[in-house]
Structure 1
Amino acid sequence: MSAVESALHTVSRPKIPARLPIAVALLWLTAFSASALPWFDQLHFSQLLAAFWTFDGNQYASVLAHFSWAPRVSIAILIGCALGLAGAVTQQVLGNPLASPTTLGVEAGGQFGVTFATLFAPGLLAFSPDLAAVAGGLLAIGLVIVLTWRLGFSPVTVILAGLVVTFFLGAINMAFLLLKGEWLGNLFIWGAGSLVQNNWTPFFDLLPRVLVIAALMLALMRPLQLLQLGQASADSLGAKVSWLRAAALFLVVLMSSVVVSRVGLVAFVGLAAPVLARLLGARTLTERLFWSTLAGGGLLLLADTLAQWATAWDGGSLVPTGTTTALIGGPVILLALQGFRNTHHMPDQGNGPAGFLPRRRSPLLVAGTLCSLLALTIILSMSWSPGLEGWNWTPLAQWTDAWVWRGPRLMAAILAGMALGMAGTLIQRMTGNPMGSPELLGISGGAALVMVVMVLTGLEIGRLGQLAAATAGAASALGLLLLLARKHQFAGNQLLLGGLALYVFMDAGLRLVMASGGTVAARLLNWMYGSTWLISESEAFGLLALVVGLSTLLLLALRPLTLLPLGETSASALGLRVPRARLLLLVLAAMLTAASTVVIGPLSFVGLIAPHLARVLGQQTVGRQMLVAALAGGLLLSLADYLARILVYPNQLPAGLLAALVGGLYFLWGLSRHGRA
């Protein structure tokens, strides 16, 4: 009988598909060959291999290969394997095929910790940069865990929480950079992710740390296998699931933070490697851990080689490895989404529109109050401001003179806020997801990515050309999302996760800009975070015409937006063609978002906050919520513009950066609130 059972066990054991080892072997061969190719005209293959342990002091190429190329290849493989293993463990712990140290905000947290320590505790960095990075990583993943604990680590919710934690910490990092750029410039070049080496010390310093943490992760392998049975079954078998998750995630934070503290952000290797291993046929936990580790080493070596080639092609201008890894990560996310089935609802999605119903209030009273507050903000912004001789009041008769400096930026901020408020209401109503916004949908990122590309290529097409290009970028992002979500009938979850993939590409461009430096990069970064001082009078009035025209089209969207939250079946039964309605609404949301993104940047979160404020103020019907959200958005961004102008005078902060900081906090609070509900 035991022989029969053994035979059955052998038959039932999943076999490793041949394509898995073949693909990983080809990945390593391609990466190593591409890395070694520039050296073949100076050294023989045997000499190049020998460079990993010795060198010929009489041959300069041999010395250079031993102290530069070989340690760079070695540290790329070591870090890639470490992040691949960390990503596989993260996905196993959370049961989430899109989880990784990057999507959980751990790497952004590590960079935040190093940045904060550089400014306020440099002695800590001198003692050990690992401590600052680990503290930041623990802060980031702690926020994600607290926010999503009550939802059972729902895959979509975990990713969105991690993404917004990344946004929020990134916005703080950017504020530090803009205010203390003379101290942090080199730090952000490092933060873009560079594996440049000039000796073996960093490799041998990192090697024991990675090996010890990896050994501790592998020691948890058998308990981690129980998580595949579900939490209830694992508990019944004696596993302490909560403690197991905490220990594994702590090791993930340690591994990621140790890497970040030395080479900066080499993002998305920890996501791409496990996804690649899974797509190629790795089924059991042991297989996923082993093949994810190997795939991570090959992927990072390939990405670093591409970065070196791009640096040489660009005339020696540094192209960070973090940029090429992020460009690899985006397509991997899109591939993973094609086969991803989310069985968990978004926060509050299962409750429908009745999940949160504050007391109804008169729309005239609410709109009147918001208009009064907006008028007060306009008066303050135009009249009460600091100057060379201190604070002074500009009387109404002199507003004509003050308009040139204060008027266009204030007008553009109000209009951008109104457009984002309406776009956010469209998206939240259409997807039935109260945590949705143009920023998370990726439409803002599409517009921003085009602007980054234009700056990097040195293309000068004027402001109107930039506006048109940004609109085209938003439309392209929308088209990609529609292709991605077509088979899911444009469901909200797939759209929001597709937006994450678009954010990856935008993040790659941002890191490339930060590493390149220069005045053009500074100007672009200011725009990315919403510098309204770049707006001219003609652009402000052009935005006015565009927003007024688009808002009139919203009258046609009231009925679809009323029916969609009822669910696809009910909406179809009432005569609504759901896929077509979602397509038209997405186009309208894209146009509103593009119009505001070129003014305030892609990361303001006003599109998230304004619709929520409208509901809190008791506006439940679509038309009333749309109106109040528009007024609330205009008020929020006008106030942000005023505060950005006066808080650090004579310096200025981008208005969108202040809005992103406040909006990120609001999102995190809102996510936890819906989770408790």
Structure 2
Amino acid sequence: MFADSTRVPATAPSLPRRLPVAIALLWLVALAASSLPWLGQMTPGELFAAFWSYTEDHYPSVLVHYSWAPRVSIAVLIGCGLGLAGAVTQQILGNPLASPTTLGVEAGGQFGVTIATLFVPGLLAFSPDLAAVAGGLLAIGLVIALTWRLGFSPVTVILAGLVITFFLGAMNMAFLLLKGEWLGNLFIWGAGSLVQNNWGPFLELLPRVLILAIAMLMLMRPLALLQLGQASASALGAKVALVRGGALILVVLMSSVVVSRVGVVAFVGLAAPVLAKLLGARTLGERLLWSTITGGGLLLLADTLAHWATTLGNGSIVPTGTTTALIGGPIILMALQGIRNTHHMPGADSSPAGFMPTRKPTVLIAGILMALLVLTIAVSMAWSPGLSSWNWTPVSNWGDAWVWRGPRLLAAILAGMALGMAGTLIQRMTGNPMGSPELLGISGGAALVMVVLVLTGLDIGRGGQLVGATAGAAAALGLLILLARRHRFAGNQLLLGGLALYVFMDAGLRLVMASGGTVASRLLNWMYGSTWLVSEPEAIGLLALVLGLGALLSLVIRPLTLLPLGDSAASSLGLPVARARLLLLLMASVLTAAATVVIGPLSFVGLIAPHLARVLGQQTVGRQLVVAALAGGLLLAIADYLARVVVFPNQLPSGLLAALVGGLYFLWGLSRHGRH
């Protein structure tokens, strides 16, 4: 008996040596890289002493004390706080992809500060924390409301959080475009900047982070019980709902306090817990401790990289949020490989929907949509606001009005038709009704190429842009399909992988926007679908492309009909599955790239239009393609008209309006899933 008891410590799990070694190496590299620019002017001892003192007659000493030291300190403080918040979030939800960023908390905090800046600036003077906390609570409340019926499954929670992030980001962008003279600096701040010129922000933030961290650690025992399951934890006396709610509020407070002072420093709260777990942190205590330490080192390293990039980029500001966002994409993909819980994933359930729309004649439905489209074109060309009042433009004057209204309207219609067809291809090919060019990263891949072209200053014309965007879109979807092969092309892995790719594009956008200038303004307008930039030759070229690809789609009706049956069944019926997938991939990529060049990367039209076709009773592939194309064209035609007249004489990008409506539609569809 005694011999057996002596073996217990030997078999108990021990902390892997690689964990402290790797984290120590991370900190060493981060500190060395941060100190390197100053080592030629000061010794390591003087640098260390600069955290509490300086030499008045030595300018580098003063600069280090008031700029470098507080920047290092606030990076470590914020990184530790977000690392701890991320670990707590993952423990609450049992979700390896949960973090304040992926749950929309940080975007909500930024949204709250933006609203307060515009409408109640006195609140910011009183306390910026209040506005940020209100926005963070709004975001997490939306996530809970949308997913509580689905049991907080990992994939669904993250999808809801990321789409809420995109939606609130679009709202922020709308305010930026309307009130750019007020919010330009706010956008740079929102990208996450840790630049400091005194110790005030650090000393103000320190007690808040410490108090919230202590409160989180006090919940460690009830949090540990959550991993036993809700029933077991309740049987052991834990009030599960109260613990989850209290811990989530602490996470919101921690994230919002950080956002209100330095902006969105994305994905530190996701990267730190994932890395700690990958390196061997097993128990809750180990994960909380090492996630906190890892977060501090990661953010210090990311901020140092941002500082170096700013220095090497001739002084153009590179926000810290950009470098941390570049960490987020790979982390999502790494964590994605370990997800096995696909329960309640929208589109993953093969059971019939709650209602099956009655089939309706395609000619009738297409005729109604065509009539509405013609009516929209007529209203758009004829009825518009003037300097004093609304005016009707006589048909005889439409030739003059065409120069200003025609090309953009035609381009919007064609982009909507392209996205409607591309969305139908993707949903049929993946078997996932929540798939779309935007959510699968195809738009993001096309947009990333456009960002690179803007950054490099290459002027290759619309034709070159279309070729480059097509290559980016094809590469994005091809990469996703490769990543999802081990999961048999399950829709959830494709969706989350696409959102991970979108992170890279978002980081590039933040980088360009932070640089300011005309390039940033042009890219911002394009990113959200400024159709007023389209010329008549470009619109006609897009017309030829969409009509040509639309005719070719008649060749893929049979493959699209057979692929949902499964690879084996499709092959047995004579379909070359690999070649069919490649053809569909290329067609979807070209359609998406053509639309993205005109309307920007995030409109959700590719998600909505195929659904409208189903609701209107078009179940077969060919009928759905036709009606989805018409529905997409109608949606963007209406969006273009409203973008032109709603805030006249100012204009909103039509893609931005479509993204706002599309984001609401996606969230509504997500909340509705599982109620039948």
Could you say which TM-score interval applies, normalised by the shorter chain? over 0.9
Say whether the 8 Å CA contact 2:155–2:342 is kept in structure 1: no
Offset from partner CA, 1:514-557 (integer Å, 9 cap, x none): 21111221111011000001111111111112112222232233
Between 1:466-475 and 1:43-52, the stretch displaced more is 466-475
- SS of 1:438's partner is coil
Name the counterpart of 2:171: 172
- Measure how far apart 1:567 and its partner are: 5.0
Counterpart-to-counterpart distance in 1, 2:89 and 2:522: 37
Name the counterpart of 2:404: 405
Offset from partner CA, 1:459-495 (integer Å, 9 cap, x none): 2223322222222221221232233223333332211
Say whether the 8 Å CA contact 1:346–1:433 is kept in structure 2: no
Name the counterpart of 1:268: 267
Are 2:55 and 1:85 aligned? no
Say whether the 8 Å CA contact 1:175–1:657 is kept in structure 2: yes
Name the counterpart of 2:67: 68
Are 2:457 and 1:455 aligned? no
- Measure how far apart 1:32 and its partner are: 0.3
Name the counterpart of 1:506: 505
Counterpart-to-counterpart distance in 1, 2:573 and 2:23: 52
Say whether the 8 Å CA contact 1:353–1:432 is kept in structure 2: no
Say whether the 8 Å CA contact 1:421–1:630 is kept in structure 2: yes
Runs of 4+ deviating beyond 3 Å: 1-7, 351-356, 563-584
Q: Write out aligned runs for 1:260-339 (5 A).
A: 260-339=259-338
Letter of the 2:239 counterpart: K
Counterpart-to-counterpart distance in 1, 2:675 and 2:65: 57
Are 2:317 and 1:342 aligned? no
- SS of 1:61's partner is helix
- SS of 1:373's partner is helix
- SS of 2:601's partner is coil
- Measure how far apart 1:352 and its partner are: 4.1
Say whether the 8 Å CA contact 1:269–1:299 is kept in structure 2: yes
For residues 342 and 380 of structure 1, do their structure 2 counterparts lie closer, same or farther at Cα, with a shift above 3 Å needed?
same
Say whether the 8 Å CA contact 1:558–1:622 is kept in structure 2: yes
- Measure how far apart 1:111 and its partner are: 0.3
Once the two structures are aligned, what percentage of the paired residues are identical?
Answer: 79
Are 2:585 and 1:590 aligned? no
Counterpart-to-counterpart distance in 2, 1:614 and 1:546: 23
Say whether the 8 Å CA contact 1:151–1:675 is kept in structure 2: yes
For residues 352 and 624 of structure 1, do their structure 2 counterparts lie closer, same or farther at Cα, with a shift above 3 Å needed?
farther
Cα RMSD after superposing both structures: 1.8
Name the counterpart of 1:123: 122
Name the counterpart of 1:188: 187
Say whether the 8 Å CA contact 1:134–1:257 is kept in structure 2: yes
Between 1:643-652 and 1:616-625, the stretch displaced more is 616-625
Counterpart-to-counterpart distance in 1, 2:142 and 2:557: 37
For residues 348 and 493 of structure 1, do their structure 2 counterparts lie closer, same or farther at Cα, with a shift above 3 Å needed?
closer
Say whether the 8 Å CA contact 1:352–1:565 is kept in structure 2: no
Between 1:56-65 and 1:547-556, the stretch displaced more is 547-556
For residues 117 and 286 of structure 1, do their structure 2 counterparts lie closer, same or farther at Cα, with a shift above 3 Å needed?
same
Say whether the 8 Å CA contact 1:267–1:322 is kept in structure 2: yes
Counterpart-to-counterpart distance in 1, 2:486 and 2:348: 20
Counterpart-to-counterpart distance in 2, 1:449 and 1:612: 27
Say whether the 8 Å CA contact 2:408–2:532 is kept in structure 1: yes
- Measure how far apart 1:427 and its partner are: 1.8
Name the counterpart of 2:152: 153
Name the counterpart of 2:35: 36
Name the counterpart of 1:240: 239
Say whether the 8 Å CA contact 2:421–2:606 is kept in structure 1: yes
- SS of 1:282's partner is coil
Give the TM-score normalised by structure 1: 0.97
Name the counterpart of 1:673: 672
For residues 389 and 76 of structure 1, do their structure 2 counterparts lie closer, same or farther at Cα, with a shift above 3 Å needed?
same
Name the counterpart of 2:642: 643
Say whether the 8 Å CA contact 2:347–2:491 is kept in structure 1: no
Between 1:139-148 and 1:11-20, the stretch displaced more is 11-20
Structure 1: stretches of 5+ with no match in the other structure: none
- Measure how far apart 1:430 and its partner are: 2.4
Say whether the 8 Å CA contact 1:604–1:656 is kept in structure 2: yes
- Measure how far apart 1:400 and its partner are: 1.9
- SS of 1:369's partner is helix
Offset from partner CA, 1:222-280 (integer Å, 9 cap, x none): 11122222223223333222222211111111110000000001101111111111221
For residues 427 and 344 of structure 1, do their structure 2 counterparts lie closer, same or farther at Cα, with a shift above 3 Å needed?
same
- SS of 2:384's partner is strand
Counterpart-to-counterpart distance in 1, 2:419 and 2:390: 32
Structure 2: stretches of 5+ with no match in the other structure: none
Counterpart-to-counterpart distance in 2, 1:26 and 1:326: 22
Name the counterpart of 2:427: 428
Say whether the 8 Å CA contact 2:99–2:269 is kept in structure 1: yes
Letter of the 2:602 counterpart: L
Letter of the 1:321 counterpart: T
For residues 344 and 576 of structure 1, do their structure 2 counterparts lie closer, same or farther at Cα, with a shift above 3 Å needed?
farther
Give the TM-score normalised by structure 2: 0.97
Offset from partner CA, 1:408-446 (integer Å, 9 cap, x none): 111111111011111111222222322221111011011
Counterpart-to-counterpart distance in 1, 2:464 and 2:565: 41
Say whether the 8 Å CA contact 2:384–2:391 is kept in structure 1: yes
Offset from partner CA, 1:344-364 (integer Å, 9 cap, x none): 242243134555412222222
For residues 375 and 208 of structure 1, do their structure 2 counterparts lie closer, same or farther at Cα, with a shift above 3 Å needed?
same
Name the counterpart of 2:7: 7
Counterpart-to-counterpart distance in 2, 1:122 and 1:165: 25
Counterpart-to-counterpart distance in 2, 1:62 and 1:512: 30
Between 1:308-317 and 1:274-283, the stretch displaced more is 274-283
Counterpart-to-counterpart distance in 2, 1:73 and 1:469: 40
Counterpart-to-counterpart distance in 2, 1:670 and 1:286: 38
- SS of 1:441's partner is coil
Name the counterpart of 2:140: 141
- SS of 1:385's partner is strand
- Measure how far apart 1:672 and its partner are: 0.4
User: What is the aligned residue count?
Assistant: 676
Counterpart-to-counterpart distance in 2, 1:520 and 1:231: 53
Say whether the 8 Å CA contact 1:489–1:579 is kept in structure 2: no
Name the counterpart of 1:394: 393
- Measure how far apart 1:2 and its partner are: 7.5
Counterpart-to-counterpart distance in 2, 1:563 and 1:379: 41
Name the counterpart of 1:351: 350
Between 1:595-604 and 1:619-628, the stretch displaced more is 619-628
For residues 577 and 337 of structure 1, do their structure 2 counterparts lie closer, same or farther at Cα, with a shift above 3 Å needed?
farther
Counterpart-to-counterpart distance in 1, 2:31 and 2:343: 41
Counterpart-to-counterpart distance in 1, 2:221 and 2:557: 54
- SS of 2:433's partner is coil
Name the counterpart of 1:111: 110
Offset from partner CA, 1:623-652 (integer Å, 9 cap, x none): 212211111100000000011011111111
Offset from partner CA, 1:51-96 (integer Å, 9 cap, x none): 1111111211111111110110000000011111111111111111
Letter of the 1:649 counterpart: F
